[in-house]
Amino acid sequence: MVRKEIEILRKLREQAIRGDPAAIEKQHAKGKLTARERIELLVDPGTFVEFDMFVKHRATEFGMDKRVALGDGVVTGWGKINGRPAVVIAQDFTFMGGSLGEMHAAKIVKAMQYALEAGVPIVFLNDSGGARIQEGVDALKGYGEIFYMNVMASGVVPQIAAIMGPCAGGAVYSPALMDFVIMTKRTSFAFITGPRVVKAVTGEDVDEFSLGGAEVHATRSGVAHLVAEDDKHAIELIKTLLSYLPLNNAEDPPYIPTGDDPERRDPELDNVVPEDPAKVYDVHEVIERVFDTGTFFEIMPHFAPNAVIGFARLNGRSVCVVANNPAHLGGVLDIDSSDKIARFVMFCDSFNLPIITFVDTPGYLPGVAQEHGGIIRHGAKVLYAYSEATVPKLTVIMRKAYGGAYIAMGSKHLGADFVIAWPTAEIAVMGPEGAAEIIWRKELAQAKTPEERAELLKKFASEYREKFANPYVAASRGYVDVVIEPSETRPLLIKALEFFYTKREVRNIRIPKKHGIPPV
Amino acid sequence: MRVRVRVGDRVYEAEVTDLGGGRYRVEVGGQSIEVEISEEIAAPQLPRIARSAPITTPSIPPQVATQAQQPAPENAVVAPISGKVVRVLVKPGDVVEPSTVVLTLESMKMELEVRAGRKGRVREVLVKPGDSVRTGQPLVTLVPG
């Protein structure tokens, strides 16, 4: 015989969990899971502790007094993901379209506070039609407080947002303030103003997914870091991502033995860089061979693919990888790749993840679009991020490292701890052809025919290449610590990582400050 | 057995003696302590790695022109960068995969590969070796398939 009070509690709980069967059916018909189903996939069985299950909104206008549900359209709690704790916030589209009002927001803010207090990551599963209009300015207050908490948590605990349904207007800024955004194909979209307003204001005819679907944000805008086929895949991506991250900024990233031999040398690496300096190759070839087999987890693979970023394990230690990719636009640095690199470096530094940079770039992309788009401002972010980072920074110069791009890509001068060069490295102030044009201008001007001039230029360029476009000038100054055979890269990076793992910043005196001003 | 142990930022050398039955004596810096291992914690397992989903045919309108130029037609492979056409590697009627290199461009003093980016059949090749092309200029048109 169960006593009455317990009976009542059981009924209330059951009511909160059951939800609205008709709305749940609609959610499933769209190919989406409910908030509770998503949480069940995400957290280890039996570990989820839900709180604020009985929270209700306080609105009375517009008939709101009759539309009430326990939980107010969002499920919050903590649980374990692959054995490690995290706070989970999941919006419930089946109650009033997951709309955000005062109490719905208050639950989210409280959950984030708990995450900060406990020092665990925040996972926010977004699925909401936007502000609950009926609650007026109280809904705006709710958004504002969530943004504020996102900023307070930034750099303290990892923040991962998955957009698994609509995310429009003010709602987009919480994911934007978090560290990683995952979007589901076909079921999610994010924009500030929707198709109807766009049509009215600019006359552009565009549907929700062409305006703000996963593909757009993963390829064009750079808003989405990862794309999921569906809800289940999105949850797997979250788990994978968390497996590389510490719980908070005071913790070391996880160490997971991978069984890959730390002394393994891959002879194929010696031939990845083509002999003809004009030819391209895919830097993934290098990354896959150097890090623990199969552990490279690429972030933003479809945005600015001329730069590659991602997490990997090196002898079991979680690290960040940044690389130019010659297979795309020759590996140039441009506005988008600068943004991509800079933000990732800042993230890695915040969470004690060593940064390993692979350099092969012909330089900055010339053009009116780049200059007018502010490549000066965006390119500066890369300099800022590398200079500011105090985690171990190891750099491998594979081939081209010229001028400003050489400096930006994790050079010794921005505080790299250990710089490794391959014998194919070309480290100089500019490329041989351009340099020859300037150094031998007078000689070239004396050429009688264009053919003779081209012949001379070729000769001077190869003279320059031989003298300067190699790793040994930089090595003679100590800007490069070692020149090695490419196949030695893995064992040496592991030794260097081991050595610098206990690094403390001693080279530069850092004057205490509130915060710097990155050139955003 | 001599081992190194790390506590926070600091590394200590310790002498560990197995006393049997899960008991050990640990000596650090002249101090000695006896410990018992009550439970061995399983080594963390390497989780399965999920990957970001592929995007082969973005269902998005053609690139918005960044300069004063016409937007490229929907089924065109466009120049990703300004440069000079070096080699054209396809002809009308050829079947291409997303990863097929349709031509190479000289730019940034390198020979860059331009890939089809989607599946299809080549309808028309709009440029020839030696032509200078600008970013966003259509190079090859495809028939989907």
Query: What is the full DSSP assignment across B10-77?
Result: EEEEEEEEEEETTEEEEEETTEEEEEE---PPPPPPPPPPP-PPP-SS--S-S---SSSSPPPPTTEE
Q: Which residue has the tokens 């004596």?
A: B25
Rounded distance between C-alpha atoms, residue A215 and residue A229, angstroms: 11
Asked if A431 and B60 come within 8 Å (Cβ–Cβ), the reply is no
Q: Are A367 and B135 in contact (CB under 8 A)?
A: yes
Q: Are A311 and A344 in contact (CB under 8 A)?
A: no
Q: Are A325 and A305 in contact (CB under 8 A)?
A: yes
Q: A172: which DSSP letter?
A: G
Same structural domain, B28 and B84: no
Q: What is the CATH number of domain A267-430+470-500?
A: 3.90.226.10
Write out chain A's pLDDT in tens, 520 residues.
889 999 999 999 999 999 899 999 999 999 999 999 999 999 999 999 999 999 999 988 898 888 888 999 999 999 999 999 999 999 999 999 999 999 999 999 999 999 999 999 999 999 999 999 999 999 999 999 999 999 999 999 999 999 999 999 889 999 999 999 999 999 999 999 999 988 888 888 899 999 999 999 999 999 999 999 999 999 999 999 999 999 999 999 999 999 999 999 999 999 999 988 889 999 999 999 999 999 999 999 999 999 999 999 999 999 999 999 999 999 999 999 999 999 999 999 999 999 999 999 999 999 899 999 999 999 999 999 999 999 999 999 999 999 999 999 999 999 999 999 999 999 998 888 888 999 999 988 888 888 899 899 989 998 998 888 899 999 999 999 999 999 999 999 999 999 999 998 776 678 889 999 999 8
Q: Is B86 on the interface with A (CB under 8 A)?
A: no
Q: Which pTM was predicted? A: 0.89
Domain containing B20: what range? 2-36
* Nearby residues of A92 by Cβ (< 8 Å), 6 or more positions away: A19, A34, A35, A36, A71, A73, A74, A75, A98, A127
Q: Are A334 and A374 in contact (CB under 8 A)?
A: no
Chains A–B, number of C-beta pairs less than 8 Å apart:
110
In chain B, residues with a C-beta closer than 8 Å to the C-beta of A280 are: 110-113
B58 found inside a domain: no
| Torsions phi, psi for A225 (to 5 deg) | -90, -30
Tell me the per-residue pLDDT of B40-93, one tens digit each, with 9 for 90 and over: 777 777 888 999 998 875 545 444 434 334 556 778 999 999 999 999 999 999
Q: Where are the domains of chain A?
A: 33-242, 267-430+470-500, 432-468
3-state secondary structure of A86: strand
Q: Are A324 and A360 in contact (CB under 8 A)?
A: yes
| Torsions phi, psi for B55 (to 5 deg) | -125, 105
CA distances for A256 relative to A304, A317, B99, B121, angstroms: 30, 7, 35, 47
3-state secondary structure of A313: strand
Pairing assessment for the beta strands B83-88 and B31-36 based on DSSP bridges: unpaired
Catalytic residue set of A: 169-170, 404-405
Asked if B59 and A226 come within 8 Å (Cβ–Cβ), the reply is no
Residue B70: CB atoms within 10 A of its CB come to: 10
Asked if A219 and B58 come within 8 Å (Cβ–Cβ), the reply is yes
3-state secondary structure of A342: helix
Of A228, A369, A431, the CB nearest to B67: A369
Asked if B110 and A280 come within 8 Å (Cβ–Cβ), the reply is yes
Rounded distance between C-alpha atoms, residue B84 and residue A436, angstroms: 21
B/e letters for B79-107, b = 16+ CB within 10 Å, e = fewer, are bbbbbebbebbbeeebebeeebebbbbbb
Q: Does the interface predicted TM-score (ipTM) exceed 0.85?
A: no
Supply the angle between the helices A137-153 and A102-118 in degrees, to the nearest 10: 10
Identity (one letter) of the amino acid at A464? Y
Terminal C-alpha separation, chain A: 65
Same structural domain, B26 and B81: no
B/e letters for A178-202, b = 16+ CB within 10 Å, e = fewer, are bbbbbbbbebbbbbeebbeebeeee
Same structural domain, B81 and B23: no
Q: Is A193 on the interface with B (CB under 8 A)?
A: no
Residue of A108, A105, A104, A48 whose CA lies nearest to A78: A48
What's the CATH number where B96 sits? 2.40.50.100
Residue of A162, A174, A167 whose CA lies nearest to A208: A167
Does the domain made of A33-242 have the CATH classification 3.90.226.10? yes
Length of chain A: 520
Asked if A363 and B108 come within 8 Å (Cβ–Cβ), the reply is yes
> Residue A205: which region, alpha, beta or left (left: phi > 0; alpha: psi -120 to 50)?
beta
Asked if B47 and A504 come within 8 Å (Cβ–Cβ), the reply is no
Cβ-based burial of A373 (10 A; exposed 0-12, middle 13-18, buried ≥19) = middle
Domain count, chain B: 2
Supply the angle between the helices A432-439 and A450-468 in degrees, to the nearest 10: 110
Q: Is A475 on the interface with B (CB under 8 A)?
A: no
Of B44, B49, B59, the CB nearest to A254: B44
Residue B54: CB atoms within 10 A of its CB come to: 10
Residue of A125, A173, A160, A301 whose CA lies nearest to A226: A301
Domains A33-242 and A267-430+470-500 share a fold: yes
Cβ-based burial of A511 (10 A; exposed 0-12, middle 13-18, buried ≥19) = exposed
B70 found inside a domain: no
Cβ-based burial of A260 (10 A; exposed 0-12, middle 13-18, buried ≥19) = middle
B43 found inside a domain: no
Torsion A224-A229-A232-A237 (CA) sign: negative
Lookup: tokens for A465: 């290449």
In chain A, residues with a C-beta closer than 8 Å to the C-beta of B61 are: 206, 210
Strand pairing partners for A255?
A317
Q: Which residue has the tokens 């709180």?
A: A51
Q: Is A294 on the interface with B (CB under 8 A)?
A: yes
B12 found inside a domain: yes
B117 found inside a domain: yes
B53 found inside a domain: no
Q: Is B31 on the interface with A (CB under 8 A)?
A: no
CA distances for B67 relative to A216, A220, A392, B62, B136, angstroms: 20, 16, 41, 14, 9
Residue A267 pLDDT: 96
